[in-house]
Amino acid sequence: MISGRRNLVILGVGSIILTIISTTASLAIYRISGDIYLDRSRPGFLPDEDEAKDEPQSSTSFTFSDSGSIDRESLEKYLEELQKVIDRLEDFADPFSPSPLSDQSLGIPSDEFND
């Protein structure tokens, strides 16, 4: 009579082997197909030369200095930066419409995709 414990061990080892094989195959396909080079979430990704990198970098977030105290001047600068964001958000007539997530609103150049 075969023990239930033995069947459970066989099932566990089999599932681990199947997982290793399927993961290895999927990563090999990912690498061979070239999709690995399109993944922009990878650390160290270098943008293409024709991407829009000459546009001025707009700082939408203000950070306080790591060292030093918070004085009136830094607080006023923070409030100025915050007011810029608030003004930008108030420009939308309907904040729940798709327009806040449009390519133009997010700063994504969409001209190259319309070709």
* Tens of pLDDT, residues 14-66: 999 999 999 999 999 988 887 777 766 655 555 555 555 544 455 556 676 67
Domain presence at residue 17: yes
Q: Domain range for residue 92?
A: 73-108
Domain presence at residue 47: no
- Of 43-47, 52-56, 82-86, 92-96, the range with the lowest mean pLDDT is 52-56
Nearest to 63 by CA among 52, 50, 47, 74: 74
**Predicted local distance difference test score (pLDDT) of residue 115:** 47
8 or 60, which is more confident: 8
Domain presence at residue 52: no
**Predicted local distance difference test score (pLDDT) of residue 33:** 86
**Predicted local distance difference test score (pLDDT) of residue 18:** 98
82 or 45, which is more confident: 82
Domain presence at residue 101: yes
* Mean pLDDT rounded to a whole number for the chain: 76
Give the Cα separation of 37 and 46 in Å (integer): 10
Provide CB contacts within 8 A for 53, sequence distance 6+: 47
- Domain count within the chain: 2
Q: Which residue has the tokens 């270098």?
A: 46
Domain presence at residue 3: yes
Domain presence at residue 114: no
Domain presence at residue 91: yes
